Chains A and B, each alone.
Chain A
Amino acid sequence: MIEISDITKLYKNENVEFLALKNVSFKINDGEFVAIMGPSGSGKSTLMHILGALDTPTSGRYLLDGQDVALLTEDELADIRKNKIGFVFQSFNLLPRASVIRNVYLPLVYSGVSKEERVRIAEEKLSATGLPETHFHHLSNQLSGGQMQRVAIARALINNPSLILADEPTGNLDTKTGDLILETFKKLNDAGHTIVLITHEPEVARHAKRIIHIRDGSILKDEILR
């Protein structure tokens, strides 16, 4: 369960100071399928990094499964990311010069899963994203944008996380492949996984059960669809 209250995020560099999130509060229960929607620069990715325990808010409280994230050590946060959370980054963040398979199973290396098992699970997850099997052993930098995106999604699913955070997962895909991915998410949600989908497209957001509208770092509307 995700529970954030009064979260703000202030980016402060040598030359700029920018308030990316302003007093954001919401609660996402286990098993929800939520879309966070807003225009570019509204703070969606910033919010996702905080929800994924990758970044810390400037102020406010974040309870993940009842635990105050601010009180956890670095290693405990790493364990949470490893065991509970699957990320799909907006910019994919694949390892260049590493094969598709290796990119996908990388999280399992840190959970001590054997190599054969890793390859097996990676192939299974890749198939679910519709990436043709001929591309499994390509290097990740030899893929098209949409293919990279699918690899990034397969990697997010590899450790069977209870919480999936996907930042524009269909941004580079055609409608047909995009629908396939959304269908995959829907199935995962049916199986009990919590999904947080970040997007700026209303058609994509409509696949979720709930839409949180965000603009200029503040929540505009919290809309329950079903």
Chain B
Amino acid sequence: MAIFDLLEEIYFALSANKIRSFLTVLGIVIGIGSVIAMVSIGQGAQGSIQSSIQSIGSNLVIVTPGAQRGVGVQVSAGRGSAQTLTQADADAIQKEISSIKQIAPELTRRYQITAKGQNTNTSITGTTPAYPEVRNIAVGEGSFIDAQQMASYSKVAVIGPTVRDDLFGQGAEALGQSIKINGVIFKIVGITQAKGGSGFNNPDDIVYVPLTTAQRFLAGDAYVTTISIEAQDQSSMASVQQQITILLLERHKISDPAAADFGVLTQADIVATASTVTSTFTILLASIAGISLLVGGIGIMNMMLTTVTERTREIGLRKAIGAKKRDINLQFLMEAITLTFLGGMIGVGLGWLLAYLVSLFAGIATSVSWSSVFLAFGVSAAIGVVFGYYPARRASQLNPIEALRYE
């Protein structure tokens, strides 16, 4: 049987019952479409999380305080709230660890700030002049905190654009104005460039002050909440991480590394952790969508079995006039594959559209990868083979004379 004739037969067979063919295809369209859309949302999330992690700096090693854990005892204080890192730790790291390019300890707490009767509650980060370079922050107007301001406990502040907009109004002139942080008056000397981002970790909704000032006038102690370190290069990150761990364990007099009261993370660790989370998320989404694909496949099988029963006499006739088993088998298998392939094609389009709409209306980044498109085609054709195989086999094995007598 020539390929063109086969296609013609398939066309006639499928168009004989358009609604049924359409509904069956719809099952596959929804299955493939949701797989594509879900995977694109997952991959989009992965991409945007990774790029936001990359944007916080390069070759970054971050030291955070953590509750000291006794053996078998869970102390219920979250990482970050514990006060185990001090200014002295930061100084020791700077002095004793090699392959460090920059170090920027910080003390971040939330305070109420007011200016001209407006007030807002935001993160106040006390830090050192190295911070912009380590954490990839650019100053738009004015300048960042300098060493002299550090040394003299100056009450100066560099604010993020969101804070400026909240306190002084959208895009208003804020340089040189005064703000009151926790009752202490600070003078604005710089405004950072907008970095973008939203939610509770908005890099633009932040106020920077000298670390010394923050420790003396705001926190009243010499603890730090994070120490950011820029390693010399990518290859030295692991060694920096290791050296810091050893140094701090020694300084904190802890012999068991598992009981450390601090954490040392490299940027790569953060990316890896985020990746496992987002890929689990992607797999979860894809498998939910995969179930609808499976249901679509069962729909194909159901339709093909019905078709074979309905067309028993036709199959008998075809065999009587010389069709071989293989001809009948191929015809019905190809009918199933045509349905799923058609469904796959429309489904890819639908998935693409869904992904586009999601990023348009929900603001979630999506990315439809070619690999998921090709996979969808492969999977839909495979579904046709798998779910079409049994009905086609049944058709091809019919005895011609019994099939002709079938009512």
Interface residues of A (CB under 8 A from B): 49, 52, 54-55, 74-75, 78-79, 81-83, 87, 89, 93, 95, 97-98, 102, 106-107, 109-112, 115, 155, 159
Q: Which of A55, A75, A155 contacts B321 (CB 8 A)?
A: A155
B319 at the binding interface (Cβ < 8 Å): yes
Q: Is the interface of B mostly helix, strand, loop or mixed?
A: helix
CB-CB under 8 A from B5, the residues of chain A are 109, 115
CA A98 – CA B401 in complex, angstroms? 21
| B318 & A112 in contact (Cβ 8 Å cutoff) | no
Known contacts A81-B320, A82-B321, A83-B322; A115 and B4 CB within 8 A of each other: yes
What distance in Å separates the Cβ of B319 from its nearest Cβ neighbour in chain A?
7
| B321 & A87 in contact (Cβ 8 Å cutoff) | yes
| B321 & A106 in contact (Cβ 8 Å cutoff) | yes
What distance in Å separates the Cβ of B210 from its nearest Cβ neighbour in chain A?
86
CB-CB under 8 A from B316, the residues of chain A are 93
| B12 & A98 in contact (Cβ 8 Å cutoff) | yes
CA A29 – CA B401 in complex, angstroms? 26
Known contacts A93-B313, A98-B12, A115-B5; A107 and B324 CB within 8 A of each other: no
CB-CB under 8 A from B401, the residues of chain A are 49, 54-55
B314 at the binding interface (Cβ < 8 Å): yes
In B296-318, the 8 Å CB interface with A consists of 313-314, 316-318
| B314 & A95 in contact (Cβ 8 Å cutoff) | yes
CA A115 – CA B8 in complex, angstroms? 11
| B322 & A110 in contact (Cβ 8 Å cutoff) | yes
B133 at the binding interface (Cβ < 8 Å): no
> Can you name 18 A-B residue pairings with CB atoms under 8 Å?
A49-B401, A52-B320, A54-B404, A78-B322, A79-B322, A81-B319, A81-B320, A81-B321, A83-B322, A89-B320, A89-B404, A95-B317, A97-B16, A109-B5, A110-B323, A115-B4, A115-B5, A159-B322
Interface residues of B (CB under 8 A from A): 1-2, 4-5, 9, 12, 16, 313-314, 316-327, 400-401, 404
CB-CB under 8 A from A111, the residues of chain B are 322
CA A72 – CA B327 in complex, angstroms? 18
What distance in Å separates the Cβ of B21 from its nearest Cβ neighbour in chain A?
14
Known contacts A81-B321, A93-B320, A93-B404; A110 and B327 CB within 8 A of each other: yes
CA A98 – CA B317 in complex, angstroms? 13
CA A80 – CA B4 in complex, angstroms? 24
Of all chain A residues, the one with the shortest Cβ separation from B323 is: A110
CA A78 – CA B326 in complex, angstroms? 11
Number of A-B contacts defined by CB within 8 Å:
63
What distance in Å separates the Cβ of B161 from its nearest Cβ neighbour in chain A?
70
| B1 & A110 in contact (Cβ 8 Å cutoff) | yes
CA A49 – CA B1 in complex, angstroms? 25
CA A116 – CA B154 in complex, angstroms? 95
Of all chain B residues, the one with the shortest Cβ separation from A49 is: B401
| A81 & B322 in contact (Cβ 8 Å cutoff) | yes
The 5 residue pairs across chains A and B that have the minimum distance between CB atoms: A82-B322, A107-B321, A55-B401, A78-B324, A93-B317
What distance in Å separates the Cβ of A110 from its nearest Cβ neighbour in chain B?
5
Instruction: Please name 15 further chain A to chain B contacts, defined as beta carbons within 8 Å, in addition to the given A75-B325, A78-B325, sorted by A numbering.
Output: A54-B320, A75-B324, A75-B326, A81-B319, A82-B322, A83-B322, A87-B321, A93-B316, A93-B317, A93-B320, A97-B12, A97-B16, A109-B2, A110-B324, A115-B4
CA A175 – CA B320 in complex, angstroms? 29
What distance in Å separates the Cβ of B332 from its nearest Cβ neighbour in chain A?
15
CA A13 – CA B398 in complex, angstroms? 17
CA A109 – CA B318 in complex, angstroms? 10
CA A75 – CA B400 in complex, angstroms? 12
| B400 & A54 in contact (Cβ 8 Å cutoff) | yes
CB-CB under 8 A from A87, the residues of chain B are 320-321
What distance in Å separates the Cβ of B243 from its nearest Cβ neighbour in chain A?
77
CB-CB under 8 A from A54, the residues of chain B are 320, 400-401, 404
| B314 & A107 in contact (Cβ 8 Å cutoff) | no
CB-CB under 8 A from A159, the residues of chain B are 322
CB-CB under 8 A from A109, the residues of chain B are 1-2, 5, 9
CB-CB under 8 A from A102, the residues of chain B are 12
CA A154 – CA B9 in complex, angstroms? 20
CB-CB under 8 A from B1, the residues of chain A are 109-110, 112
CA A52 – CA B314 in complex, angstroms? 18
CA A173 – CA B350 in complex, angstroms? 56
Of all chain B residues, the one with the shortest Cβ separation from A55 is: B401
CA A103 – CA B5 in complex, angstroms? 14
CB-CB under 8 A from B314, the residues of chain A are 95
Among B5, B9, B16, B401, find the residue whose CB has the most chain A CB atoms closer than 10 A: B5
CA A49 – CA B318 in complex, angstroms? 15
CB-CB under 8 A from B313, the residues of chain A are 93
| B404 & A107 in contact (Cβ 8 Å cutoff) | no
CB-CB under 8 A from B12, the residues of chain A are 97-98, 102
Q: Which of B2, B16, B324 contacts A112 (CB 8 A)?
A: B2
What distance in Å separates the Cβ of B290 from its nearest Cβ neighbour in chain A?
36
Q: Which of B16, B318, B324, B404 contacts A74 (CB 8 A)?
A: B324
CB-CB under 8 A from A155, the residues of chain B are 321
What distance in Å separates the Cβ of A208 from its nearest Cβ neighbour in chain B?
24
Among B9, B12, B320, find the residue whose CB has the most chain A CB atoms closer than 10 A: B320
| B16 & A78 in contact (Cβ 8 Å cutoff) | no
CA A110 – CA B5 in complex, angstroms? 9
Among B12, B321, B323, find the residue whose CB has the most chain A CB atoms closer than 10 A: B321
What distance in Å separates the Cβ of B393 from its nearest Cβ neighbour in chain A?
14
CA A52 – CA B321 in complex, angstroms? 10
What distance in Å separates the Cβ of A136 from its nearest Cβ neighbour in chain B?
17
What distance in Å separates the Cβ of B7 from its nearest Cβ neighbour in chain A?
12
